[in-house]
């Protein structure tokens, strides 16, 4: 038996429209001479969703959404509501081309009742998933987040013309767990479908938004600060809402604790209260992953990631980078975990420096020159001795007369020991000074 599809394209959780399908029940009614309503599925403030049978396609099961008859009874809103419903049908038909967004297959008006036909999904909403399982595993959060980013990036970057209007991107405006449908496909894993572009804002040459009497359409718990203030929006408003969902998947709670669960309470929380530190509830989340989630929750839109593609890239990069987690409190000093399973490779040995010829030191160079001088002086002494003994002056001593040669020779010979002693003393002291360390 097909599982129950959760709320599709409802503007706010817990609306005022009664969920009892016995009131103005369309069960058994044929819409567009094709779709026969079989049972009630879900409902909210602006419409109800039913399971139906496509009588033209061999009894194919579809989902059909009907706009609230109570809203249509208000003549001031009826015309604008029909325009809004038609816009949702056109937008959903275009956006449904992406595999992460629910497909809209037909649209029409039957006896004054607008209806929207969509694919029937088997599974459960992310809201149901969190309520039943609590905190989701980190890898599961990443898988679902990447798929949500893919679908919303497609919507934000959409460029097309519809009914003479140029569309330059579609902002969802109501991203929340009940508008994220999760389909379990067994071995293929879980698949995400984004629902409810009914309050989407078209960015282009014509911008139309359905407003309630309070001037706000959406869900305050997941709304961006600028959406709550009624300011102009861009894709970073959806990024903020996605940040709230990511935080909730990781902690099973919302990132803010307003004083009251009212529009005013959530307005104050989103605009003025800092989000509760993610590490206080989920310290095992990688630091870079947590920083990305908290960046999505920045009050100022310029401080958030610029696109859904950037959010996806940063989350995936955080899961592939080894991270050492600091404890969030002294009692959790033991929480030092590296999630990456890839070891950090270190070299087995430290490479040594290549052998290079050592340059001679200054002391060694001085010693070599002194030894050369000593050898030259010794050779000169030998020549002088030979000349003195033979009584023949040579070379440099040509000017010396033969008379007194013996006296001259004896003077030279007697001076040699003193000269050698001085040179030897100088050489020894110079060597010691060149080789001994300098005084401290």
Task: Please tell me the number of Cα atoms within 13 Å of 69 on its side-chain side.
Answer: 11
420, pLDDT greater than 60: no
Mean pLDDT across the chain, nearest whole number? 75
Of 245, 244, 260, 209, residue with least CA distance to 230? 209
The pTM assigned to this predicted structure is 0.65
Residue of 39 and 434 predicted with greater confidence: 39
pLDDT digits (tens, 9 = 90+) for 310-324: 999 999 999 986 554
242, pLDDT greater than 80: yes
Longest dimension (CA), the chain: 156
369, pLDDT greater than 50: yes
Q: How far apart are CA 195 and CA 103, in angstroms?
A: 9
Average pLDDT over residues 33-37: 95
Q: Which residues contact 201 (CB under 8 A, 6 or more apart)?
A: 170, 171, 173, 207, 209, 233
DSSP secondary structure, 182-231, as one string: EEE-GGG-EEEEE---TT-EEEES-------TTS--S-GGG--HHHHTT-
- What was the pLDDT predicted at 243? 97
CATH superfamily of 1-122: Phosphorylase Kinase; domain 1 (3.30.200.20)
370, pLDDT greater than 80: no
Q: How far apart are CA 248 and CA 227, in angstroms?
A: 20
Which of 8-17, 69-78, 278-287, 380-389 has the largest mean confidence?
A: 278-287
Which of 69-83, 263-277, 391-405 has the largest mean confidence?
A: 263-277
413, pLDDT greater than 70: no
The phi, psi pair for 342, rounded to 5°, reads -90, 115
Tell me the C-alpha to C-alpha distance, in Å, between residue 289 and each of 26, 158, 242, 283, 302: 47, 28, 14, 11, 19
222, pLDDT greater than 80: yes
300, pLDDT greater than 90: yes
The phi, psi pair for 209, rounded to 5°, reads -135, 135
From 53-57, 313-317, 331-335, 368-372, the region with the lowest mean pLDDT:
331-335
Q: Which H, E and C letters describe 306-349, residue by residue?
A: CCHHHHHHHHHHHHHCCCECCCCCHHHCCCCCECCCCCCCCCCC
Q: How far apart are CA 328 and CA 291, in angstroms?
A: 15
340, pLDDT greater than 50: no
2, pLDDT greater than 70: no
Residue of 342 and 352 predicted with greater confidence: 352
240, pLDDT greater than 80: yes
Catalytic residue among 174, 234, 355, 405: 174
- Look at the block and give the residue holding tokens 């890239």: 313
Q: How far apart are CA 367 and CA 171, in angstroms?
A: 87
Class of domain 124-207+217-340: mainly alpha
- What was the pLDDT predicted at 391? 53
The percent of residues above 70 in pLDDT, for the chain, comes to 63
Q: For the chain, first and last CA: distance in Å? A: 93
- What was the pLDDT predicted at 434? 43
pLDDT digits (tens, 9 = 90+) for 117-133: 999 998 999 999 999 99
Which of 88-102, 156-170, 264-278, 415-429 has the largest mean confidence?
A: 264-278
- Look at the block and give the residue holding tokens 């940040």: 243
241, pLDDT greater than 80: yes
Q: pLDDT tier at 78 (50, 70, 90 boundaries)?
A: confident
The percent of residues above 90 in pLDDT, for the chain, comes to 42
- Look at the block and give the residue holding tokens 């459960």: 124
Average pLDDT over residues 105-115: 87
Q: How far apart are CA 326 and CA 308, in angstroms?
A: 28
Average pLDDT over residues 378-387: 70
430, pLDDT greater than 60: no
Average pLDDT over residues 371-386: 73
Average pLDDT over residues 18-37: 76
Q: Is 174 a catalytic residue?
A: yes
Q: How far apart are CA 316 and CA 143, in angstroms?
A: 9
- What was the pLDDT predicted at 426? 47
pLDDT digits (tens, 9 = 90+) for 197-221: 766 665 654 344 433 434 566 789 9
Which of 28-37, 211-220, 375-384 has the largest mean confidence?
A: 28-37
Average pLDDT over residues 87-94: 80
- What was the pLDDT predicted at 160? 83
């Amino acid at each position: 038996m097909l599982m129950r599809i959760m709320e599709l394209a409802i503007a706010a959780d817990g609306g005022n429209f009664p969920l009892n399908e016995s009131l103005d029940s369309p069960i058994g009614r044929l819409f567009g001479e094709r779709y026969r309503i079989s049972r009630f599925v879900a409902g909210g403030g602006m419409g109800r969703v039913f399971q139906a049978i496509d009588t033209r396609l061999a009894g194919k099961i579809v989902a059909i959404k009907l706009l609230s008859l109570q809203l249509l009874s208000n003549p001031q809103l009826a015309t604008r509501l029909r325009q809004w419903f038609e816009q949702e049908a056109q937008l959903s038909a275009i956006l449904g081309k992406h595999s992460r967004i629910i497909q809209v297959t037909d649209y029409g008006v039957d006896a004054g009742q607008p209806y929207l036909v969509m694919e029937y999904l088997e599974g459960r909403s992310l809201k149901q998933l969190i309520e039943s399982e609590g905190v989701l595993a980190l890898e599961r959060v990443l898988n679902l987040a990447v798929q949500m980013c893919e679908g919303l990036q497609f919507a934000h970057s959409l460029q097309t013309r519809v009914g003479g209007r140029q569309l330059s991107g579609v902002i969802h405006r109501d991203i929340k767990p009940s508008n994220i449908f999760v389909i379990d496909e067994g071995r293929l894993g879980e698949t995400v479908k984004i629902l409810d572009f009914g309050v989407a804002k078209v960015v282009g040459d014509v911008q139309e938004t359905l407003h309630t009497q309070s001037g706000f359409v959406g869900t305050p718990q997941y709304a961006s600060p600028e959406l709550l203030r009624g300011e102009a929006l861009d894709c970073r408003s959806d990024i903020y809402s996605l940040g709230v969902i990511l935080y909730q998947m990781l902690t099973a709670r919302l990132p803010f604790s307003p004083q009251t669960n009212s529009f005013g309470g959530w307005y104050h929380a989103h605009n003025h209260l800092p989000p509760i530190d993610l590490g206080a509830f989920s310290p095992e989340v990688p630091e870079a992953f947590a920083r990305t989630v908290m960046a999505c929750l920045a009050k100022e839109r310029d401080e958030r990631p610029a696109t859904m593609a950037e959010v996806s890239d940063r989350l995936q990069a955080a899961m592939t980078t080894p991270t050492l987690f600091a404890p969030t409190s002294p009692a959790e000093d033991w929480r030092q975990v590296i999630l990456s399973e890839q070891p950090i490779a270190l070299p087995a040995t430290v490479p040594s420096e290549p052998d290079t010829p050592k340059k001679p030191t200054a002391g060694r160079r001085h010693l070599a020159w002194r030894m050369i001088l000593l050898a030259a002086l010794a050779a000169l002494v030998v020549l002088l001795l030979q000349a003195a003994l033979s009584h023949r002056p040579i070379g440099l001593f040509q000017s010396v007369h033969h008379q007194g040669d013996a006296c001259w020779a004896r003077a030279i010979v007697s001076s040699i020991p003193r000269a050698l002693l001085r040179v030897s003393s100088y050489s020894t002291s110079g060597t010691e000074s060149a080789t001994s360390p300098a005084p401290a």
